Amino acid sequence: MNKIWMLRLAVLLMLAFLAGCSQYKTEKKRNRYDYTIHQYEKAIRWGSYEIANTYRDPEREMDQEPDFEHMKQFAVTHYELLSEKFTNDYNISDMTIAIRYYNKQTMTEREVVDKQIWIWDAEKEIWYLDSPLPTFQ
């Protein structure tokens, strides 16, 4: 009888340990996500578009490189998260951001809704932006 209880206890401890490991990995992934999203937002808000572009996957072929010279004529005045959805495994995030900005030459303010897809690279343990930088006009 004692051996059965010890076996049950060992199984319960093993399950608790595995659940804890899974929770730790998810929390670590979420912390890296929050940090990455915050740094990307700062780069966009401060007009550091070249830095923002480094959050895109360098191994993924992009349609076209952003025109940084064109983008320098715009300044962001507001950056607001409208929606954020994750896949069940927390490997992909689909975000919608409202960005207000103004043209430094014409002094006109506009707003763009930026759709962002963020993908977790488990091997490198890093989040990559899988969508283009915002388009300012």
CATH number at residue 94: 3.10.450
Cα-atom radius of gyration of the chain, to the nearest Å?
21
Are 121 and 57 in contact, with CB atoms under 8 Å apart? yes
Residue 2 neighbours by CB distance under 10 Å: 6
pLDDT the model gives residue 15: 61
Residue 98 inside a domain? The answer is yes
Please work out, in degrees rounded to the nearest 5, the angle formed at the alpha carbon of residue 20 by the alpha carbons of 39 and 55: 20
State the number of CA atoms in the 13 A half-sphere of 10 facing the CB: 6
Residue 137 inside a domain? The answer is no
Q: Report the alpha-carbon distance of residue 63 to residue 35 in Å, rounded.
A: 27
Number of domain units in the chain? 1
Domain that holds residue 59: 2-129
Predicted structure pTM score: 0.79
Residue 135 inside a domain? The answer is no
In tens digits, the chain (137 residues) has pLDDT values of 577 766 676 666 666 655 555 565 678 899 999 999 999 999 999 999 999 999 998 877 766 788 999 999 999 999 999 999 999 889 999 999 999 999 999 999 999 999 999 999 999 999 999 999 999 98
pLDDT the model gives residue 61: 72
Report the DSSP pairing between strands 126-129 and 109-121. Answer: antiparallel
